[in-house]
Amino acid sequence: MAYTSISGEKMVRVDMISEDLLASMTSAEKIRMILDGVIEGKILVLERGLMPEEEAKLIEATMVEISPEFVGIEIESYPAKERRSLMDRLFGRTKSQARLTVIGSPNQLKTIKKDRGLITALISEV
């Protein structure tokens, strides 16, 4: 769904979601918010992205909704960073740090190029 400005231009809505808001939500809430947003035609930019397990759950939830009308999501993020505190090093633990993530409908969001430090995408109205 495209949005129309007062002057009549077709526009795309972009929701930029802060790390704090994401931290206050459960995994299930994040996934529902993302899928509802994509279905409504929004582009979502997550400041801190999803954890790898949440990304897997998001793909699973997306597949449940696949139909001729809903073809899935376009999701792009950078590879996760490993974060190890002193305690983590002592106990041999590794924590992945989620990174900025862009999500939208594949009909709206087209990734042109992606590497370790740059994601280039085009956004269009549906």
Partner 1 sequence: MWSSLRGRFSLWVGKIFGRRSVKIGIYGPPNVGKTTLANRIIRDWAGEDVGVVSDIPHETRRVKRRKDVKINVDRSSIKLDIVDTPGLATKIDFRDFLSYGLEEEEAKKRAKEAAEGVIESIRWLDDLDGVLLVMDATEDPYTQVNITVIGNMEARRLPMLIVSNKIDLPTASPVKIIEAFPQHTVVPISALKGNNMDTLYDGIYEHFR
| Closer to partner 1 by Cβ: residue 21 or 111 | 111
Which pairs from 82-89 meet CB under 8 Å and 24+ separation? Answer: none
Other Cβ atoms within 10 Å of 81 Cβ, number = 10
The reply on whether position 87 binds partner 1 by CB under 8 A is no
- Give how far the C-alpha of residue 79 lies from the chain's centroid of Cα atoms, to the nearest Å: 13
Tell me whether strands 81-83 and 10-11 are parallel, antiparallel or unpaired.
Answer: unpaired
* Among residues 35, 44, 73, 108, the one that binds partner 1 under rule CB under 8 A: 73
At residue 123, φ and ψ (nearest 5 deg) are -120, 130
| Closer to partner 1 by Cβ: residue 8 or 79 | 79
Give least dist CB 11 to partner 1, A.
23
Return residues touching partner 1 (CB under 8 A). 51-53, 55-57, 59-60, 62-64, 66, 68, 71-80, 82, 94, 96, 106, 114-116
